[in-house]
Structure 1
Amino acid sequence: MSTQKKVKISKQRQMTIPKEYFDALQMQDEVTVELVEGGILIKPVHKLPEGFAEQLLESLVEKGFSGQELVEKFKEATQSAGWSTFSVTEEKDTI
């Protein structure tokens, strides 16, 4: 997605994110904003559904993960844009 759109900034420093961008990124009610060289990077914040973390941990433990490996797999799963899945090296590791 490399299309550019020009948007106005209000006197209160507010701007509107174009609907197609909002929908494509599955934005909800929060974003993170980061100052980067030459601009601002805006990323959606995806909240985990209630009870998801516990279900994810149970599934990872059932698959034999423990210790630091469990922590890393949990971080990987919860930080991905599609928090219900995460990339793994073996099919048996898929949730």
Structure 2
Amino acid sequence: MITEMNRKIISISSKRQLTIPGAFFAKLGFGDKAECIIRDNELVIRPARLESNGEFAEEILSDLIREGYSGQELLEEFKARQSKVRPAVKKMIDDAHRMATGEIESMSYDDVFGGEE
């Protein structure tokens, strides 16, 4: 829900620069970098993530909660699973390159992602 507390009209300079309101900056924990994302017909500006893998954070958390994790156990399992995302994506990219160059045979969806559990 959009309220006066979480909405503000800001100016854009002739150099396409804008200033994030101080209260928003502090509340969201911005540092010296911001990430810009086009989502539907909106521009989302949020604090830049120092680590990747954030793209899957919601999915990982959703799975963990559905599996019954909570508290410190949730945090520990989240960190463990999130740490596996980057190596898995790198392997998929490497395998795709090797398939494209004919170094290895192409794989099916089930070969890459496994069958339904």
TM-score, with normalisation over the residues of structure 2? Answer: 0.42
Structure index of larger Rg: 2
Higher relative contact order by CA 8 Å / sep ≥ 6: 1 or 2?
1
> Greater helix share, 1 or 2?
2
